[in-house]
A and B are shown apart, each in its own frame.
Chain A
């Protein structure tokens, strides 16, 4: 009466091989594009043309490539943040809100002290951005640690609150009097803007992201904290028997997770918009979740996958001019994640055809 009479059985693999993981991820992306092309054809677009335009728009020129990096910076930071929470099985879906709060904290300083020099103001803005993002994540982490309140719901609800809070500011007290009634704050002073590379818009945030990735990579392998995080994520019961403080680690991981998303918000306002405005994020926080999962939470892979998804966003903008709906990009992102999730069984299990022998 067991699975012995089934024709197909799944057998667990001990460890998925890296080559296989990469192959599966790449084919998932291709399958998602194939799926997208069916929908594009059905609505009267030529998928080859659309994908070609997206690709050249994102990677085909120095300008396109630099814009792709610009979009990849917040994705890297938020993706790294999300990955730390995910490692502990903490489903922080609140990177979007933490991004907004980070942007809010940094902008508050930039607007309050426009005369301060950059070497004082910028580091303080970094601290404020990280602190606001981290505190916003703690609002979910504390109930989680104390009463095991579902963090998916709380982080998500706080996203809406954070976005409305920033909207209140840019439509109200922070609105630029010279802004022709647009929902945006006054422009930051030069001391509050991150330096950019050459004449591109690629800013110092890229360095933040790469340094953060390197630190996380080393911390996970070399420090006691990294060890604890990995053990708790894999088996929290074993971790508590080993005397690890799970509550403290939940709080710490969520704080760092939120702080990195907050840093993403800080570097976006200080590096790109040079002001805080309505809709500063086109869903970076949600895309970051996909990126973290696609990269299997590996910090270096997150940086690389972010460049891919930055390209997807820039490519999406490129083809919008020819009438392709902006939602196409989210549809493709969702489809990629679907195929990756579906194919994980291939990397984690061995498919066994035919009857299984009785044990």
Chain B
């Protein structure tokens, strides 16, 4: 039955990767619009705590999930106001959002530590597909929120590459001056995409507290928001590659727990826990070198506030 262990590990890689995937998709949208929001970790935590609180109060995981999306969007609005309207430094503002989100979620969530969630998202088999050997149990025995990403990823790809608004989105990240001259409202669109990005980060947080862990723990994202930011570079701002990447990270995460559970003690658990962070490091370095060599796709105006008078 050695095969079933691997199937279980692959399935866990997907659930462990899903919160990172949500957050990375959100960050891809924001960065394609030219805004680097480093507050992902904070927005995820705010989403996780809000989703959990609403989930506990109403016993409706879907309401929790929606509340988390709203909370993530609200946090991103603050970021957008500071960086787009007030032109504050994006790096420092993102960090402020992470510190603030960590504090706020810890503050609000304190009474919810150890509280059980009455109803969480549970795996649902997709008829027919889940019966396929190997692929079925790995891909089609998950909760609805995982299936949602299966739809979201191709949709996003289509939006970026095959639609007019998607073209404008890429334009404001590449060359806002030119987009402005064509009559694209940069400020409005950057707001929109930063907020959508925050909503997805909130969704990723809620996935942790409503489906993956079902519980609330202070700082429960444990750096996943930062991993998502790194993943965006690894994926070169492409949703499909982000999906593959997040399962890779999810796999590394899951592996450390599998080894722990199997009591494999040749290497201390602390080193297994380092794997996702090391992987991120190596991946960011390799991905950046690759972008450098092939001259590809870093949004040209990433991180630069748009100032009409300095155009």
Asked if A pairs with B, the answer is yes
Instruction: Report A's interface with B, CB cutoff 8 A.
Output: 2-3, 39, 43, 91, 93, 143, 147-150, 152-154, 156-158, 160-161, 164-165, 167-168, 171-172, 286, 289-290, 293, 325-335, 337-338, 341-342, 344-345
Instruction: Tell me which of B2-10, B192-200, B271-279 binds A.
Output: B271-279
B contact residues around A150 at 8 Å (CB):
233, 284, 288
Task: Say yes or no: A149-B284 contact (C-beta < 8 A), given A39-B107, A325-B107, A326-B106.
Answer: yes
13 more A-B residue pairs beyond the given contacts A143-B285, A341-B82, with a C-beta to C-beta distance below 8 A? A39-B104, A43-B107, A147-B285, A150-B233, A150-B288, A153-B284, A157-B284, A331-B107, A333-B100, A338-B82, A344-B86, A345-B86, A345-B87
Q: Mark B89-117, 1 if CB is under 8 A from A, else 0.
A: 10111011111111111111010000000
B contact residues around A331 at 8 Å (CB):
100, 103-104, 106-107
A contact residues around B97 at 8 Å (CB):
334, 338
With CB as the reference atom, state the residue of chain A lying closest to B102: A330
On whether the beta carbons of B233 and A153 are closer than 8 Å, the reply is: yes
29 A–B contacts, CB within 8 A, in A order: A2-B308, A3-B309, A91-B91, A147-B292, A148-B292, A153-B226, A153-B230, A157-B278, A157-B281, A160-B277, A164-B270, A164-B271, A164-B273, A164-B277, A165-B274, A168-B271, A171-B268, A171-B270, A327-B105, A327-B106, A328-B107, A329-B103, A334-B97, A334-B99, A334-B101, A338-B93, A341-B92, A341-B96, A342-B82
Q: What does DSSP make chain B's interface, helix, strand, loop or mixed?
A: helix
User: Is B161 part of the binding interface, using a Cβ–Cβ cutoff of 8 Å?
Assistant: no
With CB as the reference atom, state the residue of chain B lying closest to A149: B288
On whether the beta carbons of A157 and B230 are closer than 8 Å, the reply is: yes
A contact residues around B44 at 8 Å (CB):
none
User: Is B38 part of the binding interface, using a Cβ–Cβ cutoff of 8 Å?
Assistant: yes
Task: Say yes or no: A154-B284 contact (C-beta < 8 A), given A168-B270, A327-B107, A331-B100.
Answer: yes
With CB as the reference atom, state the residue of chain B lying closest to A40: B107
Interface size on B, residues (CB 8 A): 49
Give the complex CA separation of A342 and B218 in angstroms.
27
Task: Say yes or no: A3-B308 contact (C-beta < 8 A), given A149-B285, A160-B223.
Answer: yes
Distance to closest chain A CB from B252 (angstroms): 13
Give the complex CA separation of A204 and B108 in angstroms.
39
A contact residues around B99 at 8 Å (CB):
286, 290, 330, 333-334, 337
On whether the beta carbons of A337 and B270 are closer than 8 Å, the reply is: no
On whether the beta carbons of A147 and B288 are closer than 8 Å, the reply is: yes
Give the complex CA separation of A335 and B273 in angstroms.
31
Complex partner residue of A161 from B81, B233, B278, CB under 8 angstroms? B278
Total A-B pairs in contact (CB under 8 Å)? 146
Distance to closest chain A CB from B153 (angstroms): 22
B contact residues around A148 at 8 Å (CB):
288, 292
A contact residues around B77 at 8 Å (CB):
none
With CB as the reference atom, state the residue of chain A lying closest to B288: A149
Distance to closest chain A CB from B249 (angstroms): 12
B contact residues around A327 at 8 Å (CB):
102-107, 110, 218
On whether the beta carbons of A338 and B96 are closer than 8 Å, the reply is: yes
Distance to closest chain A CB from B309 (angstroms): 7
Give the complex CA separation of A286 and B107 in angstroms.
18
A contact residues around B285 at 8 Å (CB):
143, 147, 149, 154
Complex partner residue of A167 from B91, B105, B270, CB under 8 angstroms? B270
Distance to closest chain A CB from B283 (angstroms): 10
On whether the beta carbons of B107 and A158 are closer than 8 Å, the reply is: no
On whether the beta carbons of B277 and A337 are closer than 8 Å, the reply is: no
B contact residues around A160 at 8 Å (CB):
223, 274, 277
On whether the beta carbons of B100 and A341 are closer than 8 Å, the reply is: no
User: Is B229 part of the binding interface, using a Cβ–Cβ cutoff of 8 Å?
Assistant: yes
Distance to closest chain B CB from A86 (angstroms): 9
Task: Say yes or no: A337-B96 contact (C-beta < 8 A), given A168-B268, A327-B103, A332-B103.
Answer: yes
Q: Mark B220-237, 1 if CB is under 8 A from A, else 0.
A: 000100100110010000
Distance to closest chain A CB from B204 (angstroms): 17
Give the complex CA separation of A157 and B228 in angstroms.
12
With CB as the reference atom, state the residue of chain A lying closest to B94: A152
